[in-house]
Structure 1
């Protein structure tokens, strides 16, 4: 069982797109590595393909993380599955790596990720970000809720199952999830340089009880953590890769840190681990 913010004396550590500093982001290997290294949770971005499948891809286009070209929302799943999603990133231990992992370069669908997490029987904190704007509009959230419902993950936390939180910079997207499935916890993401800005007075939109803050906000105004806490809201922070930032989050009592380097950050937070 993974640790819980209410009983853990340190922030929970969530792997951003998996252990993405070491493995190609959003691949099954990146998530497996993060969990093997002891991460408390995982984070993924989801986009809807042209034929309405949720896939774990951050960018609107596929060029950065695959050998293909085009917009995710305009490509069908079969075409996306033909692409190589790993060769762009060379492993540090590539010279001594064992035989190639047949799944390393495969596109990861959201269903495949949930299947792996559910099968583990672990209560992994699972953060799912919906990406907007997109040509599919509210179909993204509709498909997401349908998928969570298929795995019986739309009714809040339960023993022996992933603890899902849906995140977005779009308040409207979070409101759609809340209407469709009011028991799914929500996270309002806030970026230092992105507008319009959410007021940092500690309040959140109706139905949202967690804020996801850009680490740049904490560096500039660490007092905002206490503002959100005074209103009874949890505080997640991203992307926390540096030791000084991890230590800052711990001092401020942040609930969750989201990082590309889960093992390194855990060592900073718990040196004897």
Structure 2
């Protein structure tokens, strides 16, 4: 079975990341699911945004956690991108609605450390609650997944929402032990040690690899039998692995 293709912040090579158009493009590109980062504004609104501040991906200035949604919604989150497209910041609830309407999976990364601490997982759980299964299901069958580099956040989520699989993101092999039913190693780890995939599978866990954009890396993931490829270029991945 071919790996799932997960659009990293949407089709973010061609469109500004974390914008509505980027996720619509991911659907058109044949992605199986979406990936997003979430942060809380000062007035506790969950938004799709990677960095802690606005500098890299908008025309604004400020820190997400110190801004209200009304303030954040006024910035241009698009023209920084080489495409030159204007775009508005994206509410998580709008992305959730798009995922539900399109039937796409949604992998949601909570960012840490943040001043709100574990409140972000609690708010995410509340928003997902009406759409969740009553009992835990296999990661491959789940529409939603929580992701984090924070072991504490993953542990918190597994207690809070056991029906939604947690993905333990890893940058270094020494952080391989523990975590949820899915491990998310960076492609740099897979290049360095391809046997990592088989070792994770031997523990009965899935392997979701980030961020895979180059053809040789796509082919390596396909050869090793990873379960999901997280990519900025969903169309390119689909072209290699098939629809």
Calculate the TM-score normalised by the size of structure 2.
Answer: 0.93
Describe how 1:181-260 pairs up with structure 2 within 5 A. 181-192=161-172, 197-199=174-176, 203-205=177-179, 208-260=180-232
Alpha-carbon offset, residue 115 of structure 1: 1.3
Whether the 8 Å CA contact 2:38–2:110 is kept in 1: the answer is yes
Is 1:145 aligned to residue 125 of structure 2?
Answer: yes
Is 1:112 aligned to residue 104 of structure 2?
Answer: no
SS in 2 for 1:229: helix
Describe how 1:1-273 pairs up with structure 2 within 5 A. 9-91=1-83, 105-120=87-102, 122=103, 124-149=104-129, 151-153=130-132, 155=134, 163-192=143-172, 197-199=174-176, 203-205=177-179, 208-270=180-242
Alpha-carbon offset, residue 154 of structure 1: 6.2
Whether the 8 Å CA contact 1:145–1:154 is kept in 2: the answer is no
Bigger Rg, structure 1 or 2: 1
Whether the 8 Å CA contact 1:157–1:164 is kept in 2: the answer is no
2:30 and 2:87 map into 1 onto residues whose CA distance is 23
Calculate the TM-score normalised by the size of structure 1.
Answer: 0.83
Alpha-carbon offset, residue 47 of structure 1: 0.4
1:123-172 Cα distance to aligned partner (Å, 9 max, x none): x12100000000100111111111111x42364569xx970000000010
Alpha-carbon offset, residue 27 of structure 1: 0.2
RMSD: 1.9
Whether the 8 Å CA contact 1:153–1:162 is kept in 2: the answer is no
Whether the 8 Å CA contact 2:142–2:165 is kept in 1: the answer is no
Q: Identify unmatched segments of 5+ residues in structure 2.
A: none
1:96-141 Cα distance to aligned partner (Å, 9 max, x none): xxxx8xxx51110111111122123x2x121000000001001111
